[in-house]
Amino acid sequence: MSIDSLPPLRDVIRDHGLSALKSLGQNFLLDLNLTSKIARTAGRLDGLTVIEVGPGPGGLTRAILALGARRVIAIERDARCVAALAEVAAHYPERLEVIEGDALQTDYRALLVPDERAIVIANLPYNVGTPLLVGWLSADPWPPWYESLTLMFQREVAERIVAAPGDDHYGRLAVLTGWRAQAHIAFDVPPSAFVPPPKVTSSVVHIVPRPAPLSCSLKALERVTEAGFGQRRKMLRQSLKSLGVDTGALLEAAGIAPTERAERVTVEGFVALANEWVAMRRAGADQDVSVASS
Ligand code: SAM
């Protein structure tokens, strides 16, 4: 049974000449049971505002609307898809707004009424998935403008998002995600579910922001994880040298063994490193000032 009385997605694609463009990461989902499963992963939608990135021919958009979202704001770069979505907008009057634009350049907070928080659901274009996620996790102010993110990534990227210390995929993305949010892989989607099929398996990841992450400067956290994972197999007393402070003292202050490697340090450990690094640099700058003025 169809979720709405709109034409099958194959007809939409044919009628609007939506040949998939690799440059826009276009791998479309045509099975409305699958798009409904993705939309349901986000939780209750009725009465809520959903932001969708890259609606394409509208398979996921239709599922989100059928599940009762009050308002869907869909951002799409491809003008051909924007035209194809007009029929969906007409079927759900006043509920679907399609913006032709680049999701990387979008001011999401400006799309919402003050204090409103959106649910984000997207089958992301693979070429911009990671930068989009990093931008959303770096939102300022925090808590962010979204209540949750339900996103399709390549399986390998999904593993880098949810990895724990000691996992092969543990790195900067897992530390940023773990600091600001809780994330898990909801389910995998085989290449055969997409048109055209990508080369690899995909995964739907569900991410819920922490209301109060451990206190830490984002820039400092980025800097220490960049240094640590830049030489992930080296001991931290060596890999952190580019931070320009006494690495032995830094690691001791953060309560981490100098022989430890980045791939085994917890999110809490990196937050401690970032905070101690800021404190040491501040103390160093104060000393410079007092030497200069004496
Ligand atoms: N949601 C549709 C589906 O599941 O069938 C399409 C998903 S397809 C993987 C990614 C979509 O994102 C495409 O429609 C593509 O045109 C769009 N897109 C690519 N880059 C974009 C960007 N920077 N901003 C907004 N949309 C983009």
From 168, 187, 209, give the residue that closes a domain.
209
Judge if the beta carbon of residue 123 lies within 6 A of ligand 1: yes
Q: Are residues 128 and 28 in the same domain?
A: yes
| In-domain check, residue 94 | yes
Atom of ligand 1 nearest to the CA of 29: 5
Kindly state whether residues 197 and 283 are assigned to the same domain.
no
For ligand 1, say whether the CB of 24 is within 6 Å of any of its atoms: yes
Residue 288 in marked binding region: no
Q: Across residues 160-182, what is the average pLDDT?
A: 98
Is 33 marked as a binding-site residue?
A: no
Say whether pLDDT at 16 is over 90. yes
Q: Which residue has the tokens 């799409």?
A: 76
Share of the chain above pLDDT 90, in %: 94
Kindly report each contact of residues 216-222 with a partner whose C-beta sits within 8 Å and lies 24 or more positions away, as own/partner. 216/179, 216/271, 216/274, 216/275, 217/274, 217/275, 217/278, 218/138, 218/140, 220/274, 220/275, 220/277, 220/278, 221/175, 221/176, 221/179, 221/270, 221/271, 221/274, 222/172, 222/176
Q: Residue 92 sits in a domain of what CATH number?
A: 3.40.50.150
Query: Which residue range(s) make up the domain with 159?
Result: 9-209
Taking residue 209's Cβ as centre, other Cβ atoms within 10 Å add up to 22
Question: With 60 as the cut, is the pLDDT of residue 1 above it?
Answer: no
Question: Binding residue per annotation — 135?
Answer: no
CB-ligand 1 contact for 276 (6 Å cutoff): no
Looking at the fold, whether 13 and 149 belong to one and the same domain comes out as yes
State in Å: Cα 224 to ligand 1 middle: 33
Of 108, 114, 96, 165, the residue nearest 133 (C-alpha): 108
Calculate mean pLDDT across residues 151-172: 98
Ligand 1, atom 21, lies closest to the CA of 77
Shortest-distance Cα residue to atom 12 of ligand 1: 54
ipTM of the complex: 0.99
